[in-house]
């Protein structure tokens, strides 16, 4: 292996914002060209050598200031104390989470940059309701790293982490065919191409599968735009070979609008679902792929490959279409498995006034959905992610085998299921006592763990099952031939997870996942994170470490295992800019497929062609005719 060092002068920002000192930082890089044919074992050897050199360094990458304690002020109610980071210098700080004016806030004080205060959750009542469902998981029994530095500067994972991985992200490339104005992740901006070889990917996936007590079984292949890789189908196959039972591909989907056969190949290779960007139903809110979405859905229908729509929520930009996005998902429920919304994570130096304008938290979005659906989907229909942990506890108690537990922090996400009947939206909570049923399962799991016969408990659960379901309020198709009760019996009594999949086909999953930024950063959330990234050196890093402090995790590690742009262009014979997408709006809007997809949701004739061209170009996608 050829390892070389670059010395960089890094300017340090003082409290007033001026540059007053410098730090010399060493960057370590691998000669990646020499590893194109290397086996997985070679990457394991290299990772062991370079991993210590890539770790965050105290005094260079971070400082620890735990002497400054933020104070509560008049009219504020303490929720909890935690640790956080300064958004300007990444120093580790004490922080206080508190209630004020019906909201939950976080405050910290940096000796260099003063007091920083941010909205943590937009509704204190929902915060307390969700808080009841927090569970700590088992963590990792064989961590990849020893504890050397304080959290979050020791990520990899270490023994302080409280949750095992639920979903692992694999970055297949940092190339993208778009140049979205808000994105800092694509290759030309990064200045290098990160695109691990198939054997390198196999090494990373094996690292993930080594973790105990419950190795990851769900993988998301992401980017950049992973569909730009010619060998994306091979990557899916490798994931299946390495033991991942659920594989999803995170994409804009644009390539599938033009190459429907690729959707078939992805499904045949083992892709379970696509995770597709979808920021709204109009070209105003979704200039990224509004015109292509109808054709993408048609390709997926032909391939019989389901999709989850993933809107990034930006307050005042696309939040007015929350209800319409859900209705769009229900209109296409034959192929759309869910709508998983992600409130924006504000990265960089965003002024407080701008943050208050753009910020939307999970309860804000939930309450807005309640308004836009005229109360059909209520704020009380949602549950936090860890609320499903009793299901894992119950099945594990019955089977005696470790089961995956989603013990992420209660403030990280929310979910529900909805059904459509005629013009009515029916949440699952209208006919199932979700809270009562989950608490009952936890109670029964504890009884088995204390020595009670699991067969008696199973019999009791079977008898009790009907008491948690009001079939008279369920959608007709779930009442027919006792379909709902059969689903529940097969899932919870027989542990037949094919029935869980069939249930998904009957329903539309609604999810919400709010990833952190440096302003609302809470270490308690990081330590419970179960959405991770696998790094090129084999470390596994929580999402809100990988993306919130990218300079010392994502960017440093990926750059170490990257090609220069010139190297990549010489190896492939292509220009990096050559695959950038150009849109033919006239052709896309002229087909009946486009009109039918949005019929009843958005009036496609309400926006002139000229205005559509402007919207696409303003977003950064050229228009051709």
Q: What is the pLDDT of residues 399-447, one digit of tens each?
A: 998 888 999 999 999 999 999 998 899 999 999 999 999 999 999 999 9
CA–CA gap between residue 578 and residue 123 (Å, rounded) = 47
Q: How far is CA 161 from the centre of its chain?
A: 18
What is the distance between the alpha carbons of residues 341 and 321, in angstroms, rounded to a whole number? 12
- Give the 3-state secondary structure of 394-441: HHHHHHCCCCCCCCCCCCCEEEEEEEEECCEEEEHHHCECHHHHHHHH
DSSP lists the bridge partners of residue 275 as 250, 308
CA-based nearest residue to 549, from 112, 217, 198, 87: 87
> Is residue 573 exposed (0-12), middle (13-18) or buried (19+ Cβ within 10 Å)?
exposed
Q: CB-based contacts of 399: which residues, under 8 Å, 6+ apart? A: 495
Give the bridge partners for 262, in sequence order: none
Say how far apart CA 82 and CA 106 lie, in whole Å. Answer: 9
For the chain, the straight-line distance linking the first and the last C-alpha, in angstroms and rounded, comes to 49
CA–CA separation, 3 vs 539, rounded Å? 19
The residues with which 509 forms a beta bridge, in sequence order, are 338, 417
**pLDDT value at residue 188:** 56
DSSP at 349: S
Q: Is the dihedral of CA 438, 439, 440, 442 positive or negative?
A: positive
CB 199 within 8 A of CB 531: no
The DSSP symbol for 470 reads: -
Q: Are strands 114-121 and 508-513 parallel, antiparallel or unpaired?
A: unpaired
pLDDT in tens, 566-601: 999 999 999 998 889 999 999 999 999 999 999 999
- Looking only at the bridges linking them, the beta strands covering 273-277 and 306-310 are parallel
Structure tokens at 8: 């960089």
Q: Please choose, from the candidates 385, 380, 516, the residue with its C-alpha nearest in 3D space to the C-alpha of residue 106.
A: 516
pTM: 0.94
Task: Please provide the size of the chain in residues.
Answer: 625
The candidate with the shortest Cα–Cα distance to 404, out of 395, 413, 415, 412, is 395
Dihedral sign computed on CA atoms, order 227, 219, 384, 482:
positive
Parts of the chain with a pLDDT under 50: 1, 4-21
| DSSP H helices in 416-547 | 434-449, 454-464, 476-479, 483-492, 497-506, 523-526, 543-546
Return the structure tokens found at 484: 């709902």
Question: DSSP class of residue 529?
Answer: -
Give the Cα separation of 250 and 270 in Å (integer).
14
């Amino acid at each position: 292996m050829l390892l070389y060092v670059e010395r960089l002068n890094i300017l340090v920002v003082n409290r007033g914002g001026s540059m007053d000192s410098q730090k010399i930082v060493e960057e370590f890089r691998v000669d990646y060209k020499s590893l194109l044919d290397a086996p997985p074992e070679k990457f394991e050897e290299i990772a062991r050598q370079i991993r210590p050199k890539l770790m965050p360094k105290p005094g260079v990458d971070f400082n620890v200031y735990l002497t400054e304690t933020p104070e509560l002020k008049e009219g504020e109610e303490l929720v909890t104390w935690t640790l956080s980071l300064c958004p300007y210098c990444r120093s580790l700080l004490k922080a206080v989470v508190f209630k004020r004016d019906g909201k939950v806030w976080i405050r910290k004080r940096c000796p260099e940059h003063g007091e920083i205060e941010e909205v943590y959750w937009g509704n204190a009542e929902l915060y307390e309701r969700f808080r009841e469902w927090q569970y700590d998981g088992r963590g990792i029994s064989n961590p990849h790293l020893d504890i050397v530095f304080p959290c979050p500067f020791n990520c990899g994972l270490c023994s302080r982490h409280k949750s095992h991985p639920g979903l692992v992200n694999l970055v297949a490339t940092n190339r993208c065919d778009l140049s979205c104005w808000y994105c800092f992740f694509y290759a030309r901006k990064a200045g290098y191409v990160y695109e691990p070889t198939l054997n390198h990917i196999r090494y990373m996936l094996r690292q993930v599968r080594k973790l105990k007590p419950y190795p990851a079984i769900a993988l998301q292949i992401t980017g950049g735009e992973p569909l730009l890789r010619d060998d994306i189908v091979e990557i899916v196959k490798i994931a299946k070979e390495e033991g991942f039972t659920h594989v999803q591909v995170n994409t804009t989907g644009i390539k599938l609008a033009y190459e429907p056969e690729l959707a078939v190949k992805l499904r045949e290779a083992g892709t379970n679902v696509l995770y597709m960007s979808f920021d709204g139903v109009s070209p105003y809110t979704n200039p990224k792929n509004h015109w292509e979405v109808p054709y993408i859905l048609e390709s997926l229908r032909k391939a019989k490959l389901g999709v989850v729509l993933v809107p990034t929520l930006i307050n005042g930009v696309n939040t007015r279409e929350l209800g319409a996005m859900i209705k769009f998902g229900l209109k296409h429920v034959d192929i759309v498995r869910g709508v998983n919304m992600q409130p924006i994570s504000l990265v960089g130096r965003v002024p407080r006034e701008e943050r208050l304008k753009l910020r939307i938290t999970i309860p804000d979005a939930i309450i807005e959905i309640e308004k836009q659906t005229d109360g059909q989907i209520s704020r009380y229909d949602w549950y936090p992610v860890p609320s499903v942990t009793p299901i894992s506890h119950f099945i594990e108690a019955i089977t005696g085998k470790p089961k995956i537990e989603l013990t992420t922090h209660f403030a990280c996400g929310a979910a529900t299921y909805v059904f459509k009947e005629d013009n009515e939206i029916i949440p699952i909570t209208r006919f199932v006592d979700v809270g009562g049923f989950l608490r009952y399962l936890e109670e029964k799991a504890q009884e088995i763990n204390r020595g009670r016969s699991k067969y008696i408990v199973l019999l009791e659960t079977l008898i009790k099952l009907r008491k948690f379901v009001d079939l008279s309020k369920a959608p007709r198709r779930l009442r027919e031939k006792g379909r709902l009760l059969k689903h529940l019996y097969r899932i919870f009594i027989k542990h037949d997870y094919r029935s869980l999949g069939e249930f998904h086909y009957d329903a539309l999953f609604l999810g919400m996942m709010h990833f952190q930024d440096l302003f609302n950063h809470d270490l308690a959330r990081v330590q419970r994170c179960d959405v991770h990234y696998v790094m090129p050196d084999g470390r596994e890093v929580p999402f809100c470490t990988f993306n919130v402090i990218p300079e010392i995790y994502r960017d440093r590690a990926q750059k170490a295992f990257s090609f220069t742009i010139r190297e990549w262009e010489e190896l492939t014979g292509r220009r990096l800019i050559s695959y950038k997408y150009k849109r033919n709006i006239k052709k896309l809007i002229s087909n009946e497929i486009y009109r039918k997809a949005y019929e009843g949701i958005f009036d496609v004739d309400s926006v002139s062609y000229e205005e559509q061209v402007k919207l696409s170009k303003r977003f950064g996608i050229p228009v051709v005719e």
